[in-house]
Amino acid sequence: MKSLILFLNQALALAVGRASARHGRLKSVLRSAQQKTISDDCRRSFPLKIRRYLCWFGLAILLPAVAAHALEVTDDRGITVSLAQPPQRIVSLLPSLTETVCELGACARLVGVDRYSDYPASVKQLPQVGGGLDPNIEAIVALKPDLVLMATSSRAGERLRSLGVKVLALEPKTHADVKRVLDKVGQVLGVSDAARVWRVIDAATQAAAQSLPQSLRNTRVYFEVNPGPYGAGEASFIGETLTRLGVQNIIPAKLGPFPKLNPEFIVRANPDVIMIGQRSLESMGQRPGWAGMRAMREQRLCVFTTAQSDVLVRPGPRMAEGARLMAQCLVDKAGALVRATAPAATVESRKP
């Protein structure tokens, strides 16, 4: 029995060392496993034929487990990407995907990013390979990535695939998408932390919602993504955050996630609070009819810095931080509106 155990241990150890080779070497692995010299004790205890059967038996048990380490992930284009092992050299062409990789503890695997990826600070030191829509193909190939992460809207995917580069196209657009992309990137990276990261994001978003007083519920909000003007509709991840905060988005879901709007539409909607980035501030005063809107007259504008805007418009790990920024804006701006319009009886009741 001791000889049998010794033989199996040695045969399995041999198979482990060999089975990690590529598929083209599998026959060589089997021949080596059969021909490998085992201990003299095993030779005396088992005829050659029995030793061969035992070796095949060990490999039959082991190889399915080795094959299980191969990764197959289907991206948002419906294309299945196969990887022999978790990638160690990654190029990311979308800021939210860059942040997702880093949040999952794999920042060190990034070897290149798009020009807009700037968080965390460490990625600023990485080679930039153009934008997500207009990447530098030659620069990407020169980095010899195991995998390129990119948006589905990028036109570079097919070109990179034709050059033999593995590409995974993922583009989160909703809260559910953020969770799904976290799971897929975690699967690709070979880490098990994705579920915990999502729970933290979800709990922090809920905490931001609970921080708002009931009096601010149903505040009507316009969130401008960029000076098009393009707004964040109810169907977008920003719109979903506003809904979780308990406020009303003036852009209905039927207009799409980020529709380009006629400025008159916003004037007619006359929101209580306007959320914008610094890039939009200069052009707003020049839009016909905007100066007469109540939110403009009473300066109920939340003007986010460029860094804050980046947090707000990226559907990724910092989504909860975006919810906190919105909540603080509502307290600062809509809170003044609530206090100014409170019934006299309510105001009197607060007096000592």
Query: How high does pLDDT run on average in the chain?
Result: 82
Instruction: Spell out the residues 6+ positions from residue 258 whose beta carbon is closer than 8 angstroms to its own.
Output: 225, 230, 231, 232, 233, 236
User: What band does 93 get if pLDDT is binned at 50, 70 and 90?
Assistant: very high
Q: Show the tokens assigned to 124.
A: 């600023």
CA 67, distance to chain mean position in Å, is 27
CA 291, distance to chain mean position in Å, is 38
Least confident stretch, 110-114, 210-214, 224-228, 345-349: 345-349
| pLDDT tens track for 11-27 | 444 444 444 444 444 44
Contact present, 150 and 93 (Cβ < 8 Å): yes
Contact present, 271 and 221 (Cβ < 8 Å): yes
What is the reported pLDDT for 71? 85
| Amino acid at site 162 | S
What is the reported pLDDT for 280? 84
Contact present, 242 and 223 (Cβ < 8 Å): yes
| Amino acid at site 175 | H
| Amino acid at site 220 | R
Domains delineated in the chain: 2-67 (no CATH), 73-192 (3.40.50.1980), 212-341 (3.40.50.1980)
Contact present, 285 and 299 (Cβ < 8 Å): no
Cα–Cα distance, 86 to 190 (Å, whole number)? 6
Least confident stretch, 60-69, 79-88, 124-133: 60-69
219 closest CA partner among 331, 122, 113, 74: 331
- DSSP for 34-72 reads HHS---HHHHHHS-HHHHHHHHHHHHHHHHHHHHTTSEE
The better pLDDT of the pair 335, 266 is held by 266
Residue 108 confidence (pLDDT) above 50: yes
What is the reported pLDDT for 155? 85
Least confident stretch, 16-30, 193-207, 212-226, 231-245: 16-30
Instruction: Spell out the residues 6+ positions from residue 163 whose beta carbon is closer than 8 angstroms to its own.
Output: 137, 141
Residue 83 confidence (pLDDT) above 70: yes
User: What band does 38 get if pLDDT is binned at 50, 70 and 90?
Assistant: very low
258 closest CA partner among 224, 290, 227, 292: 224
Q: In the Cβ-directed half-sphere of 39, how many Cα atoms lie within 13 Å?
A: 13
